Amino acid sequence: MVAFILPANSASSGDFITNSLRLNDSDTPRLVRTPSTAGNRRTFSISFWQKKGNTDHDNDYIISLSGNDDATNFEVSNHTSQAFQIGLHSVNLIRTNRLFRDPSAWTHYFFFIDTTNATESNRFQLYINGVQETSFAQTNIPDQNADIALGRDAATYFFSQANNANSIDAYISDFHYIDGIKKAPTDFGETNDNGVWIPKEYEGNYGDQGIHLEFKQTGTDADASGIGADTSGNDNHLTPTNLAALDVTTDTPQNNFATWNPIAKNPNLPLAEGNTYAENTGTDSFRSALGTIGVSSGKWYWEFRGGPTGDAQKFIVGWTKADVDYNARIFADSNPTVASDGYGYRSDGNKVNNNSASSYGASWNSNTIVGIKLDLDNGTIGFIHGSDRGNAYTGLTTGIFYLPFCALAQASNGEDATSFVNFGNGAHSDFGTNTDANGYGGFTYSVPSGYYALNTKNLAEYG
């Protein structure tokens, strides 16, 4: 059984992080800046939060400078198998033994370089969620007073390799580049009463060439209204490429939203757009994915858009018990509602559960949007399709965990089945403007009274 993970980082000391940037690697997105003057090439600090997207994608570049020698090349990346690496052209500074593959939670990365220090161990340190990394697959600390490429007055690429290949596939939030100052992880995070590392608002300065990316704007120019706006006070704005307003999201380390889970899905069902897009490109059998947030109480709502259905692509959406038979129902090409633990609404208008289908709603047209409700106070599941169709299922066992699921099947002629999901984070493919009572959503339908979007703030209050 593959465990689902309740996301961490659900509370913090003040809600100062409001946005993140969703980067889809196949779009080759990036932010670029060419400084007019060089920064400090011997001392700097970097802090950011990351939530993984495609965990099968290697060599995701977070920062990159191109060059032909160690003094002109620099990279920060999610390396092979999702190890974390900071490297020079021919000498890897560090590559972790640990692999970072959790797509459900936000993770904080902090490191500094200070080559002026006479003690080798104090020239470079890396912290993940506030804990110093001490186990490395490869380590080569730079010489004292060595000049590092970062800080050169040359094009610096953020979230992409310098040749525009190997873009990152992830969400990035609260990115800091501190020029000329060695900071500590506790300048950016702290441990809460539950022992969880959470964001802390940075109150220091940034040096002349420092940058703070908050992703509060949606423009496509290198200015204070752009996606790459620098809010450090330096106005070192970055130029966005292959990024749009819908790539700015409210999924943050202070309020983590559900997505589809790339480690709890059919291995042949591709996900994209920050795990909000799923597409069956291979078979007219159902391929399934589960959500990253499970709930055991409260009332919850999300929406699903099934792509073109003119060639009879097939979709099922709903909820499943968390102890679903993964090998038989999720990893295999199999209808997930054949078993008794899946409760779905199928695009032919039937509700389906326990190898049984019965009339419920209406068949789906192209780009149909369906609202999915779960009431664990009363043990019911219902759906909205054009109008509220009422309860499809009653008498559910309460007090156990349920997960959202989708299942997609090609048309018999091989036409792919495509879809977007909106768990309340204003999904990449725009749905609407309706919200739950706490203001989360961007939904098509009015959220039923008492139901809430799947994020950790709502979970802490109503779950």
pLDDT tens by residue, 319-339 = 999 988 888 889 999 888 888
Whether 148 and 106 map to the same domain: the answer is yes
Whether residues 231 and 269 share a domain: the answer is: no
The CATH number of whichever domain residue 275 belongs to comes to 2.60.120.920
Query: Do 319 and 223 sit in the same domain of this protein?
Result: no
Q: In angstroms, how far apart are the furthest CA atoms of the chain?
A: 75
Query: Does some domain include residue 10?
Result: no
* Number of domains within the chain: 2
185-200 average pLDDT score: 96
pLDDT of residue 93: 78
Whether residues 199 and 269 fall in one domain: no
Task: Decide if 55 is inside a domain.
Answer: yes
Q: Check: CB of residue 194 under 8 Å from CB of residue 202.
A: no
312 shares its domain with 231? no
Domain containing 457: what range?
A: 260-462
Residue 1: pLDDT above 50?
no
Residue 235 and residue 273 share a domain: no
Among candidate residues 216, 249, 282, the one where a domain is terminated: 249
Cα-based distances in Å from 418 to 186, 258, 278, 378:
43, 19, 6, 33
Cα 419 to its chain centre, rounded Å, is 17
Tens of pLDDT, residue by residue over 285-302, are 999 999 999 999 999 999
Q: How confident is the model at residue 164 (pLDDT cuts 50, 70, 90)?
A: confident
Average pLDDT on 134-139 reads 93
Q: Give residue-wise pLDDT tens across range 232-265.
A: 999 999 999 999 999 999 999 999 999 999 999 9
Q: Which of 195, 222, 249 is the last residue of a domain?
A: 249
Distance, CA of 295 to CA of 374 (rounded, Å): 9
Is residue 218 located within the same domain as residue 282? Answer: no
Residues 333 and 384 in one domain: yes
Residues 245 and 159 in one domain: yes
DSSP 398-432: PSS-EEEEEEEE--TT-PPEEEEEESSB--SS---
| Span 369-399, pLDDT tens digits | 999 999 999 999 999 999 999 999 999 999 9
Same domain, 330 and 245: no
Beta-carbon contacts of 131 under 8 Å, excluding residues fewer than 6 positions away, are 197
When pLDDT is averaged across residues 86-112 and rounded to a whole number, the result is: 89
Q: Report the share of the chain in percent with pLDDT over 70.
A: 95
Look over the chain and give the mean of its residue pLDDT values, rounded to a whole number. 92
- Its pTM stands at 0.95
